[in-house]
Amino acid sequence: MTMSPRSSHLVGVRLDLGPRSYDVLVGPGARSELADMIPVTARQAVVVTQAGIGVAAGLETGIPTTVVEIGPGERAKSLATVETLSRRFAEAGLTRGDVVIGVGGGVVTDVAGFAAACWHRGTGVIQVATTLLGQIDAAIGGKTGVNLPEGKNLVGAFWQPLGVICDTDVLASLPPAEWRSGRGELAKYAFLGVDDLDALDVPEQVARCVECKGRIVSADETEDGLRMILNYGHTLAHALEAAGLAGESGDFEDSSTSPGDAPPPLLRHGEAVAVGLVFAARLARALGRIDHHRVERHERLVADYELPDRLPTGADPERLVELMRRDKKAQGDLTFVLDGPRGVEPVRGVPATTVFEVLEGLR
């Protein structure tokens, strides 16, 4: 994995994955480089995006392009959406030599990537991430997938993109709630060795997080070991999101809405990760892996980012434990990524009684 300046305002982060290696371009105006990423075999492109993401309309691909919108929110991450996209690919006559372009946040990049992985058993995809969360995490590393009622991201594939665009100019229009959600992932990187993030401007924050994730993915592409640490805070987070998808959990109060506004249908991913980070720290302390000072650092960072540190209203610890047992890291047990004397690492066989005790403390 290498990071190098591409111009006076862009940074290129190279993920070294042999024949699947690719560049992530970070900085203001990076989307102007999109056409150079499109393979010479591509006769046409299909852009997958969502309503309200204005970036898609102004993209220049240099080839005939069809724009397809998927639905809003986590509920759009479904097999039904993948079927709809596949049928639109068929209508467009998309071939394996053509290209899919995902333009949006984590929902779009996950779905577009998985649909591309399935189409003709593997069609090239380029990700144009338009949210902070997408730029520092979701669009990087080739994890694609959709949700089931039984859990988050249970159906998916590793399908590395041809390239990723992180145009930091587009972040200026993000609403406050999306900034907070992105900071949930930003907080995670603070415990994975990315220091002094708050001293950097936004393009530098994005580049540092991409560099961190790229280094880990280059060492463990298919999550056989090291890459699991990128799921720090995510075991509980995914359980909370799965419960929300099933209508079994309430939401956090959204300070960006006005009185009388309808609440968002689901908690945001970064909010769930923030709760998951505090939970993971307290669980690590309960297991004797870290002390209370380390826990306080987690809680302080989450508070500084104005993120929640408690379970949402209506969350049921027993249901959350059931969902966490289905986590992709688990092998018939409760597995978590936890802080400790060797840093953040996977820990298997965590006693359910301890998990319940820590969850009760977050109610």
Question: What is the arithmetic mean of pLDDT over 126-153?
Answer: 95
Q: What's the pLDDT tens digit per position in 28-77?
A: 999 999 999 999 999 999 999 999 998 888 899 999 999 999 999 889 99
Domain locations in the chain as residue ranges = 2-219, 232-252+266-360
One-letter amino acid identity for 212? C
- The residue-averaged pLDDT of 112-127 equals 98
Going by pLDDT thresholds of 50, 70 and 90, the confidence category of residue 2 is: low
Residue 265: band (very low, low, confident or very high) from pLDDT cuts 50, 70, 90: very low
Separation of alpha carbons 33 and 26, rounded Å? 11
What is the pLDDT of the chain when averaged over all its residues? 91
Give 351's contacts (C-beta < 8 A, 6+ positions apart).
334
For the cut 50, the answer to whether the pLDDT of residue 25 exceeds it is yes
% of the chain with per-residue pLDDT over 70: 92
Hey, is 172 helix, strand or coil? helix
pLDDT at 253: 40
d(CA 66, CA 63): 10
Report how far Cα 131 is from the mean position of its chain's Cα atoms. Answer: 10
For the domain 232-252+266-360, what is the CATH superfamily, name and number? Dehydroquinate synthase-like - alpha domain (1.20.1090.10)
Q: Quote the tokens at residue 23.
A: 């560049």
Total-model pTM: 0.89
Strand order across the 99-104 sheet? 2-5, 11-15, 22-27, 163-167, 124-129, 99-104, 45-50, 65-70
Distance CA 314, CA 112 (A): 32
- The CATH code belonging to domain 2-219 is 3.40.50.1970
Q: Is the pLDDT of residue 246 over 70?
A: no
The number of residues in the chain equals 363
**DSSP-assigned beta bridge partners for residue 198:** none
Q: Give the start-end residues of each E strand in 88-150.
A: 99-104, 124-129, 143-148
What is the structure's pLDDT at 258?
Answer: 38
